[in-house]
């Protein structure tokens, strides 16, 4: 028996969607207990640029920021931003991520690069 009508159903659907978005955001950058015990590491803590630097540089400098739990390049058309690498070297890994790029952007993922 339903006494709320369609309006209440729409409201419930919206609440369900909002809950799902919050759950997805909470789980986006986390490890399970088993992953931690297995030695897995997060490359990005969701809050800082710690652990990252520019390619062939010692620091990440002003071209990158953390915004809403994401690592964001400030460059437009290659003027700032630039390639970044992890400070730590990894030789056995699985890389999982989500990324997006603006229209007309030029980017990609490089791994196992050598600096010099």
Q: Is residue 35 part of a domain?
A: no
- Note the helical H segments in 1-116: 5-27, 33-37
Overall number of domains in the chain: 2
Q: Is residue 36 part of a domain?
A: no
Q: Which residues of 33-71 are buried (b: 16+ CB within 10 A; e: fewer)?
A: eeeeeeeeeeebeeeebeebbbeeeeebeebbeeeeeeb
Q: Are both 53 and 96 inside the same structural domain? A: yes
Q: Are both 61 and 108 inside the same structural domain? A: yes
Closest CA to 77 of 63, 66, 67, 65: 63
Q: Is residue 37 part of a domain?
A: no
User: What pTM does this model have?
Assistant: 0.68
| pLDDT by 10s per residue, the chain, length 116 | 444 455 555 556 665 555 555 444 445 688 889 989 999 888 999 899 999 999 999 999 888 999 988 888 887 655 677 889 999 998 888 888 888 887 877 777 888 888 98
The C-alpha atoms of residue 14 and residue 27 are separated, in whole angstroms, by: 20
């Amino acid at each position: 028996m339903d006494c709320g009508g369609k309006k209440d159903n729409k409201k419930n659907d919206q609440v369900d969607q909002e809950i799902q978005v919050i759950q997805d955001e909470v789980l986006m950058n986390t490890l399970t207990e088993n992953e931690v015990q297995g030695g897995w590491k997060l490359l990005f803590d969701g809050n800082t640029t710690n652990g990252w630097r520019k390619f062939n540089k010692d620091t990440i400098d002003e071209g990158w920021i953390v915004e809403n739990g994401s690592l964001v390049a400030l460059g437009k058309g290659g003027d700032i931003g630039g390639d970044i690498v992890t400070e730590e070297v990894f030789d056995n890994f699985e890389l999982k991520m989500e990324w997006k790029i603006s229209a007309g952007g030029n980017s990609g993922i490089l791994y196992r690069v050598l600096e010099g």
